[in-house]
Structure 1
Amino acid sequence: MKTKSAQTVLAESKMNQISILNRANVFEAGLFSWGIPEETARELSAHHTEINYAAGKLIFSQGSPADIVMWVVKGVVREVCPNPKGTQTLVRLATAGDVLGLADKLNEKGQWVRRFEAWTASNCVLAIVTRDHVRNLLKAMSAEELLALSERMNSAAAEWVQYYATFLGLSYRERIEMVLAELGRKFGIADGDGVLLTFEPTHSDLAEMIGSSRPVVGRVLTELADDGEIGRRERKYILLRGGTIEAAVNEVAHVANGHAPASIQLAASSRQRSAPLQRQHRWSR
């Protein structure tokens, strides 16, 4: 029988292998969902330059020129919104196939600039193409195709507005449950005990994502552990099998697109397990 440590290593290797082998497919699938023709999507994904970044590096800052389009080939990127008083909000954790800079804007001079800033959370490989190249590809699309693209992009933007409007009306526990479910979809690997998160957000990450503080995050995670929703294996979190968060990971509704899973409810406090994992009572970092 494989040890827990060996299972963790195997899960991480599987996730990394999938990201490498299917990185173009993941990105292209996102383009297809926007209504971009297959030929255009493949042209865009095929003709790009890849750049390696070490963990903890700034990719672009708020207000910097946005003359290139970037997407994640491998690794995890933190997209952050700096706030006027020196604080910041973690907008999302981007991974393989995600486009960076979707929220770019035009400044008063008509130049594209970055609305947020991006930092690598791990060693990353990013793909870049120029906006001119993207513009030329779009010019080759028909009027009907461009209209469909415009409608889908407008729908995607509206879904983000709906998501945050919904998110703000939830308790801190419900917010963390939604965030953990989304992390399970992005970074989760099926495991005998539930869903193993191969990327672990820090306590600061979660606090920024739910608009709260680190002590609040610690208290909520303690509640979730006591209620049998999450477990701990070495330095990884597991969304425990049979819990509402683990169930939400497999739901069709996608949190990032503004849909709050119906099953995200307060967990039953008396759930029992025959072989519980180590419970998490405080974030260690």
Structure 2
Amino acid sequence: MATSIISTAYSRTHTFERRALLPHERDCLWQLVQGIVRATTWHENGTLISLGLWGPGDVVGRELVQVEPYHLECLTPVVAVRVPKDQWSRLTDALIRHVRGAMDLLEIVQCKDAQVCIESVLVWLARRFGCDVAEGRLIDLRLTHQDLADLVGTSRVTVTRILNQLERQGRILRVARHRLILRPTTAAPCVLLN
């Protein structure tokens, strides 16, 4: 799918390092040019909640949510364009993608079966952020087991147990640190992971 980025003639690009937080600015959104950003908040008990992952062409910002606290963490190096409120009318396609991505992830995390939930989120990640390679679809996001657990609302121990189980079944092979390849099959997905 082609991604349209708002013209940088109206605003200059900003670069952020991995694990940096995108700044919150009133009446401003960020359109991602490159990289992946995770939106997060916390429960009262301190538990981290992932609200979504966003990539090139997507729009993120404090102005899109009413959640507090709210942080936008760069999972990779990120290049983004600051979009002031008077230019938001140019972002219709990106805002629609934002809503659709959030709804897709919400559907996944509502699944009661942890294994199905984790497999579904791997398929979602491959579709949203993957690129084709000879073996299938590469997801090169450096997501840890804890990152996956935060994304689907389960524990790291559960993610590790399920991934180990998938490996024993021959559906997961370790190929490189934090790199995933989702291979197409007629049955459930086969994933290569480390």
Q: TM bucket by the smaller chain?
A: 0.7 to 0.9
Residue matched to 2:4? 27
Q: Percent identity?
A: 25
Residue matched to 2:15? 52
1:178 and 2:120 are equivalent in the alignment: yes
Residue matched to 1:254? none
Secondary structure of 1:215's aligned partner? helix
* Distance change in 2, residues 1:102/1:177 (3 Å): farther
Aligned mates of 1:69, 1:234 — CA distance in 2: 35
Match of 1:212 among 116, 133, 154: 154
Structure 1: 5+ residue runs without aligned partners? 1-21, 29-43, 107-112, 139-148, 247-276
Secondary structure of 2:127's aligned partner? helix
Match of 1:240 among 178, 183, 186: 183
Q: How does 1:14-93 map to 2 (within 5 A)?
A: 25-27=2-4, 44-46=6-8, 47-60=10-23, 64-93=24-53
Residue matched to 2:165? 223
Secondary structure of 1:84's aligned partner? coil
Show structure 1 runs of 4+ deviating over 6 A. none
- Count of residue pairs brought into register by the alignment: 189
Secondary structure of 2:163's aligned partner? helix
Q: Is the 8 A contact 1:78 1:121 kept in 2?
A: yes
**Cα distance per residue 1:212-246 (max 9 Å; x no partner):** 11110001111222233332212222223425236
Aligned mates of 1:188, 1:80 — CA distance in 2: 22
Q: Is the 8 A contact 1:80 1:89 kept in 2?
A: yes
Q: 1:86 offset after TM fit, Å? A: 1.5
Give the residue type in structure 2 aligned to 1:77.
V
* Distance change in 2, residues 1:160/1:194 (3 Å): closer
Give the residue type in structure 2 aligned to 1:27.
S
Q: Is the 8 A contact 2:111 2:117 kept in 1?
A: no
Q: Is the 8 A contact 1:231 1:238 kept in 2?
A: no
Match of 1:187 among 129, 144, 155: 129
Q: Please provide the CA RMSD for this pair.
A: 3.4
Q: Is the 8 A contact 1:77 1:121 kept in 2?
A: yes
* Distance change in 2, residues 1:92/1:218 (3 Å): same
Higher helix proportion, which one? 1
Q: Is the 8 A contact 1:78 1:93 kept in 2?
A: yes
* Distance change in 2, residues 1:45/1:194 (3 Å): same
Higher strand proportion, which one? 2
TM-score (normalised: structure 1)? 0.56
Give the residue type in structure 1 aligned to 2:15.
N
Aligned mates of 1:181, 1:162 — CA distance in 2: 11
Q: 1:90 offset after TM fit, Å? A: 1.4
Aligned mates of 1:45, 1:157 — CA distance in 2: 22
